[in-house]
């Protein structure tokens, strides 16, 4: 986190904004719970957004763009680091989501299921995600997002493929 968000995080945030998510913020800084570590009083998280139901709260997304041929999949360490950032900030793991472009190793999927964290794959390629939803589609998705919030997890756009 160097001040300017990674282009993949910007891409995921743009999808969320286009689909009607509320108060989507890039590089959201969250106060740590009670102590100072590594000279910082806050933990920067890639994306934060507001969920309105069943009660207003924020959820957070960690974006992992993997393009290397040696390590094309998100690992257990990627998921564990994000969980530790959430714990340091006093945020329950169920409010955290990890998004990657290629997929996850089996260990990362098992660990996320054990901890109750959602994993998604949002592929990125030419022409993907550039469609602007119609007003009716956005209103329908907003209603679906609120209903799913009452069930405990926000509904995500069709570009988001849930893994765990």
Mind listing the pLDDT tens digit for each residue in 136-147? 666 666 666 555
Q: How many domains does the chain have?
A: 1
Return the CATH number at 78.
3.40.1350.10
Would you say residue 85 lies in a domain? yes
Mind listing the pLDDT tens digit for each residue in 99-111? 998 889 999 999 9
Question: What pLDDT sits at residue 31?
Answer: 61
* Interacting residues of 46 by C-beta distance below 8 A, sequence separation 6+: 1, 5, 6, 9, 12, 26, 27, 28, 60, 61, 62, 63
Would you say residue 2 lies in a domain? no
Would you say residue 150 lies in a domain? yes
Would you say residue 17 lies in a domain? yes
Would you say residue 60 lies in a domain? yes
Would you say residue 117 lies in a domain? yes
Expressed as residue numbers, the domain containing 154 is 7-162
80 pLDDT band (50/70/90 cuts)?
Answer: very high
Would you say residue 1 lies in a domain? no
161 in helix, strand or coil? strand
């Amino acid at each position: 986190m160097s001040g300017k968000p990674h282009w993949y995080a910007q891409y995921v945030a743009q999808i969320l904004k286009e689909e009607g998510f509320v108060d989507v913020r890039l590089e959201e800084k969250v106060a740590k719970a009670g102590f100072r570590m590594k000279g910082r009083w806050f933990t920067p998280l890639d994306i934060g957004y507001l969920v309105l139901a069943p009660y207003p709260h924020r959820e957070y997304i960690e974006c992992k763009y993997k393009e290397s041929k040696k390590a094309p999949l998100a690992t257990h360490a990627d998921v564990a680091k994000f969980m530790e950032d959430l714990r340091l900030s006093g945020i329950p793991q169920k409010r955290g989501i990890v998004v990657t472009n290629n997929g996850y190793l089996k260990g990362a999927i098992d660990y996320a299921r054990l901890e109750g964290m959602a994993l998604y794959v949002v592929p990125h390629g030419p022409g993907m995600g550039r469609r602007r939803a119609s007003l009716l589609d956005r209103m329908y998705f907003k209603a679906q997002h609120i209903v799913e919030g009452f069930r405990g997890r926000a509904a995500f756009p069709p570009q988001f493929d849930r893994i765990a």
